[in-house]
Structure 1
């Protein structure tokens, strides 16, 4: 693997995060020590140490004296906020789970995508629309953008039988996220797939995640008004 062009702590941090995100260093594995990394990047050990400290604070690595530095087994999605898999959520309620891929499009990011997803207009994104069902009835309409640059091999996935969130949980760690929940009116497409009236309020959850400074995914999840969101403290 090529080292970053500059040996600043930010360049080192971003390169280490990239290797973790691309599974060059797998969860639970030891990564090279500070001395080896300093030699590789042509940097002082203090610079490498600063980069590792920031990655540890972000939850991507775990550092233990006399043991070394490992890639976190449990990425921040589990340590800070449990992102539910909708299939597990539905099955836990006692209902049968169903899934439909409505559309899958690889395309240049529009100006709207760029504003929503924090990527340059024209950069390739994967746009997915999916419907999740509980007992045969619409449960969640999922409208998702994924950044292939931050989620290696995502363009190899067809998502015909499994939703993208399941794949992302196992294949694309993130270091920070933003969650928003609100009431809204559905779009025409959302109303049609959820079988609700266009003027019926729906519960919307929007989530964006990043791996350091790189956006991973942005998703809008729409539920009928009967949906209940429960958190355990």
Structure 2
């Protein structure tokens, strides 16, 4: 039997159309009844998906005026989550990956606050090491919502959570931060550096509407340089 279409899947399709430019700034998108017929779901399912996108600032909903793509979106810039393996290859190095541990554990308060999730809720916790030319490049300390679609079929022994999430999930909002943190004894051993050595640390959290997806801390080996373009 065909699985029922959820509001999350409708939201994912709407996000795809927005990012692909199929729904352009200022344009009115199809009404709920039309989208429900096209996608084969209830109108209430479409309504929920569009309400969540409007709350995130990606759509504008007006009474008797339909739903439109904002001319000036709330987000003034876009951010593409990089795949660490491809980042390493772009530097002319050979990438490697090693899963250190994987377990379901209570979500810590800091990550719960970042994702607006319930502290103590059971989340998938992974620690992995990314290598460049067989040298430590980045330690990935990540928490993933166990209700993330498709997660049961993911094999993090062979594919990093970073790469799996980029390829299999869509997010509507999130946060990113940069800091220098001192290497703990475990991180020092993983990254082959001195304890308390300063590490460039990137923290990132994402959500799909009301559903938290993931929170991660990426610890880069000493000497790492981060570059971007305007």
**What TM-score results when the alignment is normalised by the length of structure 1?**
0.72
Computed over aligned residues only, the root mean square deviation of the Cα atoms, in angstroms, reads 3.7
1:42 is displaced (CA, Å) by 6.1
Aligned mate of 1:197, from 187, 194, 197: 194
1:89 is displaced (CA, Å) by 0.6
Change (3 A) 1:42 1:164: closer
Residue in structure 2 matched with residue 175 of structure 1 by the alignment: 172
Does the aligned pair in 1 maintain the 2:130–2:136 contact within 8 Å?
Answer: yes
1:213 is displaced (CA, Å) by 2.2
Change (3 A) 1:24 1:232: closer
- Rounded to whole Å, the distance in 2 between the matches of 1:115 and 1:158 is 27
Instruction: Give the unaligned 5+ runs of structure 1.
Output: 4-14, 60-67, 70-78
Aligned mate of 1:40, from 42, 45, 52: 42
Change (3 A) 1:155 1:229: same
Change (3 A) 1:50 1:124: closer
Does the aligned pair in 2 maintain the 1:145–1:217 contact within 8 Å?
Answer: yes
- Count of aligned positions: 200
Deviations 1:75-100 (A, max 9, x none): xxxx8112111101101111110000
Aligned mate of 2:227, from 213, 223, 230: 230
Change (3 A) 1:156 1:229: same
- Rounded to whole Å, the distance in 1 between the matches of 2:117 and 2:52 is 26
Residue in structure 2 matched with residue 84 of structure 1 by the alignment: 82
Change (3 A) 1:117 1:191: farther
1:108 is displaced (CA, Å) by 3.5
1:25 is displaced (CA, Å) by 8.3
